[in-house]
Amino acid sequence: MRVDYHTHTNFSADSDEPMENQIKAAISAGLSQIAFTEHEDYNPDDMTAFFFKHEDYWKELSRCREIYGDKIVVRAAIEISEPHRYHREAQAVLSKYPWDFVLGSLHWLTPWINTFEPAFFTYRNNWRESFRNYFTEMAELAQHGNFDVLAHIDYPSRYGLNFFGDEYDITEYEQEIRHVLKILIERGKGTEINTSLLRRGRKDPNPPPGCHQLVQRDGRRDFDHRQRQPRRQRHRCAHARCPAHGAHSRLYEDCDV
């Protein structure tokens, strides 16, 4: 089964693509399910905060389900940034609508340091320390956030090539990442293999193979998508065909359209 559970449309600030176009592309690509995980941002320093118009989204989702429901399953989903910091705001949205699936993301290391800006990598002239702080903060998100699946574990690695080149190695942060994964396992949450970097010409997805090797060495082969409980129903998700991870990686994986 091929699915995409991390997709954005023009209901997110970083996409201009209409929902219907994404659905048509998904059907053409042979996907059986698609989830529209629009960005839900609350940081007042984020120019995209509160961009997501929920009522309009649900109207369009319902319209598209009526038209394409016999060809593809369309899931109602949301990607909440820093849900551990914005409990009240996140809970208000999660309780108001019948979401099928919720991604939790860490885009802002602190309320004033965005992980895709140069300041993240130049802080104290030590990008390695910034990554360590990032994974430490991610443990807080994993422990206290309300979500189903943790998105793109090493998100900053997308944007720091000019700073770290080929020196970045996720296994340098083994202790911090093991702690995050342990929390996710205990809470019955999942993590994704975000394959968008492959589409952009990078050799590894987020996270790279080293992260999954940590799980496998720890004997956590049962850490997979089947452990999470979506809001409305339990449903299976596909494995992305990422050779670097192997066809039998037991983590939640997504396939980009």
Averaged pLDDT of the chain: 81
Report all structural domains of the chain as residue ranges with CATH numbers, in order of start: 3-253 (3.20.20.140)
Q: How confident is the model at residue 161 (pLDDT cuts 50, 70, 90)?
A: confident
What contacts 24+ positions apart, CB below 8 Å, involve 125-130? 127/160, 127/163, 127/164, 128/172, 130/156
CA-nearest of 97, 85, 77 to 49 is 85
Instruction: In whole angstroms, give the CA distance from residue 50 to residue 12.
Output: 10
Instruction: Look at 94 and 167; give whichever has higher pLDDT.
Output: 94
Other residues' Cβ atoms within 10 Å of the Cβ of residue 63: 12
**Residue 253: pLDDT over 60:** no
CA-nearest of 8, 45, 1, 46 to 25 is 8
Instruction: In whole angstroms, give the CA distance from residue 91 to residue 62.
Output: 23
Q: How confident is the model at residue 224 (pLDDT cuts 50, 70, 90)?
A: very low
pTM of the predicted structure, to 2 decimals:
0.81
User: Residue 207, preceding bond cis, omega within 30 degrees?
Assistant: yes
